[in-house]
Amino acid sequence: MPYYLGVDTSAYTTSLAVVDEKALLHWEDRKVLNVPTGERGLAQSEAFFQHVQNLPHLVEKIPTDLWSDLAGVGVSMAPRPVEGSYMPVFTAGYCVASSLATGLRLPLYLTSHQEGHLAAGIVSGRLTETQFLAVHLSGGTTELLRVEKKDPGKIEIELLGGTTDLHAGQFVDRIGVRLGLSFPAGKELEHLAQGADSEAASLLPSAVRGFEVSFSGVESAAQRLIDQHTPSAQVARAVEGCVARTMGKLILAGIEKTGIKHCLIVGGVASNQFIRAELARRLVRKTQLYWAEPEWSRDQAIGVALLTSQGMNSKPRI
């Protein structure tokens, strides 16, 4: 059986995955980049350096029996499939993926980080619609998209709207770090919020105007809650509630504009169980929501490997 290797080096995660032609995951591993305590991110140069350190160790961990039947290598080359989309960190993954493909005499398939997220969501969320709305909700992206599945391995994306300032993940991380949590703060903030009462989710407003959302003002409001000695659990739940209400309004705007009532939600912030439940409650009878599995929501190379498998079984881009 042929296998396909995917490589993704995002802003904070080094990831490799191997799938087969039937979209079954055979192996996957990832390493979150180290961010010093109290810091809210990494410079691209430091992130690139850590990827270069991580990649050889992850390659060594690929099970020996998969190498002989490897039929293709894929890699995310950019954050999004649009002209001018670029981050240096993706070059680290490309260098290793290109070297492996050349050395093993295998075809190389190029895609983007966003397409990988969508592909992972389509498969793990069991989405069969050819056209749907999608929300990419992470530390580096907060966007509402109109998506159409075209040829195998190809996803056509139209940007409908999104944030005008902070991304949802940045909002979560900034407040999380202020509360003393490690970066990235999503998992710890979700755990902390479990100690909140039912009123906490409405402590912060949501800022939505048509297809534009903003998190900078509510981030300032959340900082004031901390300054006022609001219990940490309450603040954490308020952040989750704000994100859920904001994205619910954005999705409704997308439904009204396009008439499309199927919506896939992907990205690291989309792994939050409270946000999932709250969006499902708010949008019941208005849309059919699809979610990537929590571990397939966070940055990973699974979607890259899936697109590689699909593309290699039709026509490689390179």
> Is residue 241 a contact partner of residue 202, using CB atoms and an 8 Å limit?
yes
Instruction: Please give the share of the chain, as a percent, with pLDDT higher than 70.
Output: 98
**CATH no. for residue 260?**
3.30.420.40
Q: Write out the residue range of the structural domain in which residue 242 sits.
A: 163-291
| 313 pLDDT more than 60 | yes
Q: How confident is the model at residue 318 (pLDDT cuts 50, 70, 90)?
A: very low
Determine, yes or no, domain membership for 178: yes
CA distance 158 to 137: 16
248/284 Cα distance (integer angstroms): 11
Taking the C-alpha atoms of residue 123 and residue 307, their distance in angstroms, rounded to an integer, is 11
Note whether 192 and 213 are same-domain residues: yes
pLDDT tens track for 6-51: 999 999 999 999 999 999 999 999 999 999 988 888 999 999 999 9
Question: Is pLDDT at 167 greater than 90 in this prediction?
Answer: yes
Q: Would 271 be classed as within a structural domain?
A: yes
**Do 85 and 193 lie in a common domain?**
no
- Pick the residue with more confidence: 63 or 140? 63
Q: What is the average pLDDT across 173-180? A: 96
Same domain, 301 and 269: no
pLDDT value, residue 47? 97
Centre a 10 Å sphere on the Cβ of residue 255 and count the other Cβ atoms it contains: 16
pLDDT at residue 177 is higher than 70: yes
**Number of C-alpha atoms within 13 angstroms, CB side, residue 274?**
24
Candidates 79, 76, 10, 20; CA nearest to 48 is: 10
Average pLDDT over the chain, rounded to an integer:
95
pLDDT digits (tens, 9 = 90+) for 222-242: 999 999 999 999 999 999 999
Query: Same domain for 265 and 197?
Result: yes
Give yes or no: residues 74 and 173 share one domain. no
Q: What is the pLDDT at residue 312?
A: 81
- CA-closest candidate to residue 279, choices 254, 239, 250, 247: 247
Q: 283: how many CB neighbours lie within 10 A of its CB?
A: 18
Counting the structural domains of the chain, the total is 2
Residue 314: per-residue pLDDT: 65
Do residue 239 and residue 277 come from a single domain?
A: yes
Q: What is the 3-state secondary structure (H, E, C) of the chain?
A: CCEEEEEEECCCEEEEEEEECCCCEEEEEEEECCCCCCCCCCCHHHHHHHHHHHHHHHHHCCCHHHHCCEEEEEEECCCCCCCCCCCCHHHHHHHHHHHHHHHHCCCEEEECHHHHHHHHHHHHCCCCCCEEEEEEECCCCEEEEEEEECCCCCEEEEEEEEECCCCHHHHHHHHHHHCCCCCCCHHHHHHHHCCCCCCHHHCCCCEEECCEEECHHHHHHHHHHHHCCCCHHHHHHHHHHHHHHHHHHHHHHHHHHHCCCEEEEECHHHHCHHHHHHHHHHHCCCCEEEECCHHHHCCCCHHHHHHHHHHHCCCCCC
Residue 79 pLDDT level (bands cut at 50, 70, 90)? very high
Q: 304 and 287, same structural domain? A: no
Within-domain flag for 209: yes
Together in a domain, 87 and 167: no
Examine the domain organization and report whether 15 and 104 are in the same domain.
yes
Q: What is the 3-state secondary structure (H, E, C) of 36-56?
A: CCCCCCCCHHHHHHHHHHHHH
- Report percent pLDDT > 90 for the chain: 92
75 shares its domain with 22: yes
Is residue 266 assigned to a domain? yes
**Residues 232-290 pLDDT 10s:** 999 999 999 999 999 999 999 999 999 999 999 999 999 999 999 999 999 999 999 99
Same domain, 302 and 282: no
pLDDT value at residue 316: 44
Q: Is position 21 within any domain?
A: yes
Please indicate, yes or no, if residue 189 is contained in any of the structural domains. Answer: yes
pTM for the predicted model, two decimal places: 0.94
Residue 258 CB burial class (10 angstroms; 0-12, 13-18, ≥19): middle
Distances (CA, A) of 193 to 18, 21, 207: 35, 40, 21
Q: Round to whole Å and give the CA distance between 76 and 35.
A: 22
> What value does the mean pLDDT take over residues 93-110?
97
113 and 20 part of one domain: yes
- Please check whether residue 254 lies inside any domain of the structure: yes
Q: What is the pLDDT of residue 39?
A: 87
The answer to whether the Cα torsion of 55, 57, 62, 65 is positive or negative is positive
pLDDT digits (tens, 9 = 90+) for 188-209: 999 999 999 989 999 999 999 9
In a domain, 148, yes or no: no
Confidence of residue 317 (pLDDT cuts 50, 70, 90): very low
Quote the pLDDT of residue 315: 52
At 306 the pLDDT is 97
What pLDDT, on the 0 to 100 scale, is given for residue 107?
96
